[in-house]
Amino acid sequence: MEQKSMDPQDDVPLVFVHRPPSFHFPFKDRLSTHFNLLDPLDSPDSTHFFLGSSVGVDHLDLSDCRRRGIAITNASFAFSEDVADLAVGLLIDVLRGISAADRFVRSGFWAKTGDYPLGFKLGGKRIGIVGLGNIGSQVAKRLEAFGCIISYTSRRKKPPSVPFAYYANIYDLAMNSDVLMVCCALTEETHHIVNKEVMAALGKEGVIINVGRGALIDEKEMVQFLVRGEIGGVGLDVFENEPDVPKELFQLDNAVLSPHSAVVTPECFDALEELILFNLKAFFSHEPLRSLIEFE
Amino acid sequence: MEQKSMDPQDDVPLVFVHRPPSFHFPFKDRLSTHFNLLDPLDSPDSTHFFLGSSVGVDHLDLSDCRRRGIAITNASFAFSEDVADLAVGLLIDVLRGISAADRFVRSGFWAKTGDYPLGFKLGGKRIGIVGLGNIGSQVAKRLEAFGCIISYTSRRKKPPSVPFAYYANIYDLAMNSDVLMVCCALTEETHHIVNKEVMAALGKEGVIINVGRGALIDEKEMVQFLVRGEIGGVGLDVFENEPDVPKELFQLDNAVLSPHSAVVTPECFDALEELILFNLKAFFSHEPLRSLIEFE
């Protein structure tokens, strides 16, 4: 967001809305009582202010924003609990085979073939969190209650108040984990951060959960590792070429596939509305913003 | 288990094994180094001691056991964490539609029809736990970490150290809950404890998770409530006539169906083995037993 002088005919700040056409923007009416909204999807003519919403920042030119002094806030404050809920749900699903067992029951196999194969306990599992930000921290909080053992990798080691073991790189984290929870932002540095060396280090019973962005994982390699039985399972909310999903995954019971829906709850939209309204008011009143992206 | 005089020719205690044929009893070899095992599924001729394993006690004549002074221990100590993991997994699945969304992705609908419908946040949901024993307590511990608000009903109010609101009956609990987690034992008193009045009290956005026994819920009524949209969703690990599941459920996206697999993990079998070995040794040494069933 960048502050400029207001149109002299109008005291209400102008806000330029940038959104994907699929984002329905349910709280537009409420925002329009506080701001003059310019939404190019309504009328394609204006360039004043910028209002988008996302957890990820991979669609923004961060260095250009830094050079121009543009502040960026993201939606992780509003979204992180919902994303963490789904991440934990995907993990339980992969370990206990919930979706696969549901297919087994629906297709009538329970009565025909007897018991469904064993699942795995959460307690005692070594969970490696890739990116201990808002989302990763919420994931850690939940999984501690299941008796999991948490460690993490992150750009920097967190302060001593964070009680989890730190690994300086994802390879060492994978070597010491049963599960990788991929919760970080997609940047040039994190593109394909889960590569074949990391998957080999995780091992054939290892599980990968991805609620970040598809391109954090080398998806082609991941499919091969799964097909060859060289990793134990995956729970994926994101894919490299959404909405296309590699067809090989459709045949696998140890893959749980979610259509990028980690943040799609009404409670999340309410929290997002509050956050956007708060930040716009704060911006135009020269007050501190919430969920400000820190440039490296 | 009932202690009797030993066969004079043999110092090793005799243990009579009672198990369903489908229970594979993987630690038989280890037990047989400590005890003389009599398993009627090996050779159908003996009546000495009793070794079964289950969380539920609905297959035992409790009043007859009490009259004869027979001690009963159950497996909830070994099983409760796994059952609680699955219970929470089923709840996240119902609220966030994980299994249904996985079907949506696998059938290729994501690319064809766009976004999957909204799910619901766990945080702030009022969770009513039916039976705050080993399993219910583990469920509460996990859901607190998601920001849920816990209350319960139970035969008696728990001591003040238990910080959750208590309701004396399930109807009042349902009136004040978004979700019922059914975790109690099946007895004469709890048969169909979730009846149509309770479902009506829970309301049309309410969710029921059952990891206890099928007959805790009036299943026919539940199916009608679901078909008419009068409750919001169900996650069921147990059914009234297993392995038969009401066919109407196969058509519903707001039902998650699990083939009575709450305890089926290798870690759980290990814990069960430890518990059985501990209790048999304790019994024959006149030491206190773990997971002893208290008669009412």
How many CA atoms lie within 13 Å of B273's alpha carbon, on the beta-carbon side?
16
Instruction: Inspect the interface and report whether the beta carbons of A261 and B111 lie closer than 8 Å.
Output: no
Query: To 10 degrees, what angle do helices A266-284 and A76-96 make?
Result: 150
Contact B17, B1 (CB under 8 A): no
The pLDDT tens digits for B99-118 are: 999 999 999 999 888 877 78
Instruction: Inspect the interface and report whether the beta carbons of B89 and A106 lie closer than 8 Å.
Output: no
Least confident of B21-30, B49-58, B60-69, B226-235: B49-58
The pLDDT tens digits for A8-21 are: 445 778 877 777 66
Count of pairs with CB atoms under 8 A, one residue in A, one in B: 174
CA of A114: which chain B residue's CA is closest?
Answer: B243
The CA distance from A157 to A276, in Å, is 30
Which residue intervals of chain A are DSSP H helices? Answer: 28-32, 62-68, 76-96, 98-106, 109-113, 134-144, 170-175, 196-202, 219-227, 266-284
Picking from B243, B201, B245, the residue whose alpha carbon sits closest to that of residue B219 is B245
User: What's the pLDDT at A26?
Assistant: 67
Which residue among A244, A261, A265 places its CB closest to the CB of B101? A261
Contact B237, B98 (CB under 8 A): no
Band (pLDDT 50/70/90 cuts) for residue A55 is low
In a domain, A160, yes or no: yes
In a domain, B46, yes or no: yes
- Please tell me whether residues A186 and A141 are part of one structural domain: yes
Into how many domains does chain A fold?
A: 2
- Please tell me whether residues B275 and B233 are part of one structural domain: no
Contact B23, B272 (CB under 8 A): no
Picking from B226, B242, B241, B236, the residue whose alpha carbon sits closest to that of residue B257 is B236
Residue type, B92: I
- Please tell me whether residues B71 and B92 are part of one structural domain: no
- Please tell me whether residues A145 and A274 are part of one structural domain: no
- Please tell me whether residues A202 and A120 are part of one structural domain: yes
Task: Give this complex's ipTM.
Answer: 0.82
More confident residue, A45 or A204: A204
- Please tell me whether residues B89 and B36 are part of one structural domain: no
Q: Which domain does A24 fall in, by range?
A: 14-75+264-284
Q: Among A82, A110, A141, which would you mutate to test the B interface (most chain B Cβ atoms within 10 Å of its Cβ)?
A: A110
pLDDT at B78 over 80: no
A243 φ, ψ (degrees, to nearest 5): -85, 20
* Concatenated DSSP letters of B38-54: E-TTTSS---S--B---
Band (pLDDT 50/70/90 cuts) for residue B43 is low
Q: What is the mean pLDDT of residues A155-161?
A: 94
B263 φ, ψ (degrees, to nearest 5): -110, 10
Instruction: Inspect the interface and report whether the beta carbons of A118 and B82 lie closer than 8 Å.
Output: no
In a domain, A290, yes or no: no
C-alpha gyration radius of chain B: 21
- Please tell me whether residues B60 and B100 are part of one structural domain: no
User: What's the pLDDT at A59?
Assistant: 75
- Please tell me whether residues B232 and B88 are part of one structural domain: yes
- Please tell me whether residues B88 and B207 are part of one structural domain: yes
- Please tell me whether residues A95 and A38 are part of one structural domain: no
Instruction: Inspect the interface and report whether the beta carbons of B115 and A259 lie closer than 8 Å.
Output: yes
Question: What are the angstrom distances between the C-alpha of B111 and each of A115, B66, B156, B222, B253?
Answer: 34, 62, 53, 34, 19
Residues near A17 by beta carbon (within 8 Å), at least 6 away in sequence = A25, A37, A38, A39, A40, A41, A51, A52
Picking from B42, B73, B41, the residue whose alpha carbon sits closest to that of residue B55 is B73
More confident residue, B52 or B127: B127
Least confident of A43-57, A218-232, B155-169: A43-57
Averaged pLDDT of chain A: 86
- Please tell me whether residues A272 and A163 are part of one structural domain: no
User: What's the pLDDT at B55?
Assistant: 62
User: What's the pLDDT at A4?
Assistant: 44
In a domain, A289, yes or no: no
Distance from CA of B231 to the nearest CA of A (A): 19
Q: In 10 A of CB A226, how many CB atoms?
A: 22
In a domain, B157, yes or no: yes
The pLDDT tens digits for B180-220 are: 999 999 999 999 999 999 999 999 999 999 999 999 999 99
The CA distance from B225 to B195, in Å, is 11
pLDDT at B27 over 80: no
- Please tell me whether residues A46 and A158 are part of one structural domain: no
In a domain, B156, yes or no: yes
In a domain, A9, yes or no: no
The CA distance from A286 to A280, in Å, is 10
CA of A251: which chain B residue's CA is closest?
Answer: B106
User: What's the pLDDT at B8?
Assistant: 40
The pLDDT tens digits for B251-288 are: 999 999 999 987 767 777 787 788 888 888 888 888 98
Q: Are strands A14-16 and B36-38 parallel, antiparallel or unpaired?
A: unpaired
User: A285-294, B37-46, B247-256, B282-291 — which one is most confidently predicted on average?
Assistant: B247-256
> Domain containing B185 — which CATH number?
3.40.50.720
In a domain, B193, yes or no: yes
Q: What percent of chain A has pLDDT over 70?
A: 87
Q: Which chain B positions have a beta carbon within 8 Å of A105's beta carbon?
A: 245, 257-259
More confident residue, B51 or A274: A274
